[in-house]
Copies of this chain bind each other. A is one copy, B any other.
Amino acid sequence: MATTIRDVAKEAGVSAATVSRVLNNSGYAHEDTRKAVLDAIQKLNYRPNEVARSLYKQKSKLIGLILPDITNPFFPALARGVEDYLREHGYRLIIGNSDEQLEQEIDYLDTFAQHNVVGIVASINEPHSDMLSDLNVPIVLLDRTVEELPAVYADQFEGGRLAAEKMLERGSKEITIIRGPIEVRPVYQRFVSSFQVLRQAGVKVHVFDSKLSFEGASKSASSLFEFYPNTDGILACNDIVAVAMMNEAQRTGRKVPEDVQIIGFDDISISELVYPGLSTIRQPAYEMGEKAAEILLKKINQQVLDDLHCQLPVQFIERQSTRKVGE
């Protein structure tokens, strides 16, 4: 059996209440008793039971995190940002993968409530507002947005625009945009933005669909050049898809970037390691996670938020899958 606050109290020759006071630095405590208590705690290696604490205070030190799929490298980066920040502030994470499934999101939200989480960070598309207000717990959206909730995300329109412009500047004339699932908002936004720029520029543009997953990317890649053999520029919806497309380009004897240029989205770690290095639009995933955590803690501590929405800048990272030009 773990040591309880009573054990400590007995050891120190005081009451449980006193122990609680020194533990929480609340109320008075004579320096001597304080020391006695601290000694007893040390001696018994006592750690307060968070569950009991949580039951009484109706709030835990737990924070819920919902991500679509931790298996997609973009999300672990977010998660680490969240975790590292929260951890330093004494909070821990209950984590759940939703696979973008409403049902699973709800299921986790439910669980979070049952465990008295004090806050939630979530990458979900349509927050179930009744549910959320029901929980009555601060939430911040990550990589997703909705008008009324705090959110941290990267500038998708700028990202989409940047990708298209850089591609244009580097001379591609027949560009295929790989569009991800339109239900995933940020992915759709970057598509729209790229598409607009390309259209206005008057180049030839194709739209080709792909899932965001590894298998999906691989599958769609295999038929890209059957549909659009003259593609000389690819704007991919994320880096995974970009890498798959780059593979297919090379496999079909095309040179990258000479014959086909490719720009990805996200800047996941692997993008730097593949050959040729993948040019991409960087989303500052780790920082996004940190920022979301920071905002969440502010809300938890009732501090006022300067802005509900925090948009982080994206950045064009040029590597070797595009033809560098003097700028």
Contact = CB atoms under 8 A, between A and B. Distances in A.
Interface of A: 2, 47-52, 54-55, 60, 62, 69-71, 73, 76-77, 79-80, 83-84, 87, 92-97, 110-111, 113-116, 214, 217-218, 240, 243-244, 246-247, 250-251, 269-270, 272-277
Given A50-B114, A55-B55, A70-B76, A246 B272 contact: no
A283 B247 CA distance: 23
A290 B231 CA distance: 42
15 contacts: A50-B115, A51-B114, A51-B115, A73-B76, A92-B94, A93-B95, A93-B96, A94-B95, A214-B270, A214-B272, A240-B273, A243-B274, A246-B275, A250-B275, A270-B270
B94 A94 contact: yes
A70 B79 contact: yes
A274 B272 CA distance: 12
B218 A273 contact: yes
A273 B51 contact: no
A113 B2 contact: yes
B272 A47 contact: no
A94 B91 CA distance: 11
